[in-house]
Chains A and B, each alone.
Chain A
Amino acid sequence: MNTLRYALTASVLGLSIWQALVWITGAPHYILPSPWRVAQIGFANRALIAEHALVTASEVGLGLIIGAVLGAVTAILLANSERLHRFVMPLLVFTQAVPVFALAPVLTLWFGYGMASKIAMAVLIIYFPVTSAFYDGLMRVPANILDMAKTMGGTKSRIMWRIKIPYALPSLGTGLKLAAVYAPIGAVIGEWVGASKGLGYLMLLANGRAKIDLMFASLIALAILTILLHQLVAKLSDRMAKG
């Protein structure tokens, strides 16, 4: 209940600052629309926004699932083999040095203008945080627990499955919560580069037609989508960590 109260207070504060900025600067609505105007336009275009939000949500959801599975599997493989970790980790770090924004045109070229390129973007942007967080968790299992498991005659794969993975689930949860915030960024970048659907596309379209209020409404829809996704992933992660 307290969380909801804080969230509502923060929202009211944010909207007040926004409205104050509109009054102070006297900016016209095609530069900075007021919150009330954005709410009106958003409500009037709710079907349109919902249609595009559904596309973005699908891209983000699929990207999140694929990225999480790939990241988790990679982390387990790396934790299982010191040699593989020494070989692959520098490569992973190097791929992070290439901005995902710069890859968007290439991915659109390879995967087309449909959902695939946006899913690929979301996967790329979350793969490393998930891998890194889960790998850290897998490697942080206390040595004395592993010693005990060895004296019990545990095999490497069973120690991984029965001890290391359950122990590292809270870390995986942390990675997934980050991923839930990053994944929409990937999808929207993909939509900006080339798409005919999605909130990113709608924002660009609205901007091009000087419908800044619709652009703001789409932006808020994107923020709400991200918050809901984060909450959902946080709940699932907490349940997963509690076992």
Chain B
Amino acid sequence: MRAPTLHLRGSYHLGAARLFGPFDVSLQGGQWTCLLGRSGVGKSTLLRLIAGLPCAGEFDGSITASDGTPVTDRISYMAQSDLLLPWLNVLENTVLGAHLRGMQPDLERAKSLLDRVGLAAHQSKRPDALSGGMRQRAALARTLMEDRPIALLDEPFSALDASTRAQMQELAAEVLSGKTVLLVTHDPAEAVRLGHQIVVFTPNAATFAQVPKASPVRDPFAPDTLTCQSTLLDCLRGSL
């Protein structure tokens, strides 16, 4: 399944108040787009709109894919918390989607994905026996198991310590390569490191930021990465 480009345009209202928009952005197929914005600006709401999940307000606009087929049944979703079910082991959590759809899970594929994220030796453990980083890796394996062309990531690394976060960013970039990824984040460093495109999201606009020439995953200490990072930080401060 080829990863489509997503076109998002419209605005979002709660009652008479406009919360964000109007915006008009395209998420390039097979690339990472980082949606960067301050907390509470509506990034996660936009992600919920793309996923077709219920929201409190009203969206006036459209979310379409370049191949013309519906978006909502082709997405996988990864949240800030790992959302692992505590009564299932890692392998069972990985194949949860198949069970929820009433399908026979492909256990061999699940095991190979767990191997890919470095959890082969932990597949029969329950989530409470894993560290925070391992739990997020299990969540990543579950996301990959869905094998959807679009991945929506809602600040999935924000609760991790710095070194685990860096490892997880590299792993996610590797295993989600070729998918259309939307990463919601409030961290300019993360956006610069991972984004083929970076969209700065404010209540009034969604604007593309200039990204360094190097391809993701970028060296966090490279001069143009650091320059871009500070420019984005200024942008965020300016959106106060």
- A interface, CB within 8 angstroms of B: 142, 144-145, 147-155, 158-159, 162-163, 166-167, 169, 242-243
Contacts and interface: CB of A to CB of B under 8 A. Distances in A.
A163 B48 contact: no
B87 A243 contact: yes
Interface string B142-164: 00001000001000000000000
Contacts of B53: 147, 150-151
Contacts of B81: 144
Given A147-B48, A147-B51, A158-B102, A152 B83 contact: no
Nearest to A169: B87
| Chain A, interface SS category | helix
A139 B57 CA distance: 23
Given A144-B81, A148-B77, 18 more contacts: A142-B83, A147-B51, A148-B83, A151-B53, A151-B75, A151-B76, A151-B77, A152-B96, A152-B97, A154-B97, A154-B101, A158-B99, A158-B101, A162-B96, A163-B100, A166-B85, A242-B87, A243-B87
A144 B79 CA distance: 8
B73 interface: yes
A243 B92 CA distance: 13
Interface residues of B, number: 23
Contact of B87 (A142, A145, A151, A166): A166
A162 B88 CA distance: 10
Interface in B35-50: 48
Contacts of B73: 153
Contact of A153 (B79, B87, B97): B97
A148 B79 contact: yes
Contacts of B52: 150-151
Given A147-B77, A148-B77, A153 B101 contact: yes
A61 B79 CA distance: 45
Interface string B60-76: 00000000000011011
